[in-house]
Amino acid sequence: MKPRRSVLAVPGSNPKMIAKAKTLPVDEVFLDLEDAVAPGAKAAARANIVAALNEPGWGSQLRVVRVNDWSTEWTFADVISVVEGAGSWLDAILLPKVTDAGQVRALDLLLTQVEKVSGLEVGRIGIEPQLENALGLRNIDEIATASPRVQTLVFGPADFMASINMRTLVVGEQPEGYDVGDAYHHILMTILLAARAHGLQAIDGPYLQVRDVDGFRRAAARTAALGFDGKWVLHPDQVDACNEIFSPRQADYDRAELILETYAFHTSEAGGARGAVMLGDEMIDEASAKMAQVVADKGRAAGMTRTDA
């Protein structure tokens, strides 16, 4: 799967922001038809998005559209218009406020029909369910496995906090009065565990204080440390920090490749077929090699090369 370290949110109603997005070095751009677009602007935004996806000038970013959730009257028309109009350019549909597996299956069925009538390869367009409420989190395993199209599990912190009545207005910061830990830990770990259990990417949502790049760095570094694959960015200033934070550090990447190389040699016949070996002062075994593989895979996917070899 292609990396999704940085996922840029762009309102579908704003052609200038879409034009700018095409030039930014993010791993994914999602064009929004949901909460960043006013109800009266949804129809025009669909047309903007179709036009923008068909225009040249995109980089290697994954191109995704966030449709409205199934409780609205807009979802089916969102899907039909963007897939009919620009399906061959579309990598995935981001489905917000998912509550259960049925909503993912409904989108899968609709996508299949539109792909067929449009002469597109059936099943190529992925689904990114967004977890934004208690019910969705409770049903996360069923959601994750509802369709082979599911590629990622995405956290929606603002809607999530509202849905559980968490007493804060600042996304990414702890609710005042809760001073015994991280109020988001359970939610983040539930998403991460489901992603790992089902072979999907885990993506953290937005940090809304766009002028506070240090705050963004702190929030991103926390979920990167847990094991998340990427995070939303809302502003060009957040992009470089995000790519850096969700890529391995160079020294870690070099070390991981060295561990893999050393372990592969010593476990081979030529190297003596040993299970545990010393690398400097550290003993490495099969489990160390697995940890190293995670870091090496992320680095390779991000295009990193060794500086120690």
Which residues form the interface with Mg ion (CB under 5 A)? 132, 156, 159
Q: How far is the CB of 158 from Mg ion (least distance, A)?
A: 5
Q: State which of residues 159, 204, 254, 257 lies at the interface with ligand GLV (CB under 6 A).
A: 159
Dihedral angle, C-alpha 108, 91, 226, 171, nearest 10 °: -90
Eight-state DSSP code of residue 278: E
Is residue 3 at the binding interface for ligand GLV, with CB under 6 A as the rule? no
* Neighbouring-strand partners of residue 233: 8
Is residue 115 at the binding interface for ligand GLV, with CB under 6 A as the rule? no
For residue 303, count other CB atoms closer than 10 A to its CB: 8
User: CA nearest 28: which of 55, 54, 65?
Assistant: 65
> What CA–CA distance (Å, rounded) separates 53 from 38?
21
Quick one: what does residue 136 bind among ligand GLV, Mg ion, none, with the CB cut-off 5 to 8 Å set by partner type?
Answer: none
- Count the alpha carbons within 13 Å of 73 in the hemisphere toward its beta carbon: 3
Contact present, 283 and 276 (Cβ < 8 Å): yes
> What CA–CA distance (Å, rounded) separates 4 from 151?
11
Binding-site string for ligand GLV from residue 187 to residue 216, where x marks contact by CB under 6 A and - marks none: ------------------xx----------
Q: How far is the CB of 226 from ligand GLV (least distance, A)?
A: 18
Binding-site string for ligand GLV from residue 117 to residue 146, where x marks contact by CB under 6 A and - marks none: ---------------x--------------
| Residue span binding ligand GLV (CB under 6 A) among the ranges 151-159, 215-223, 239-247, 286-294 | 151-159
Annotated binding-site residue? 176: no
Binding residues vs ligand GLV (CB under 6 A): 132, 156-159, 205-206
Instruction: Write out the binding residues for Mg(2+).
Output: 132, 159
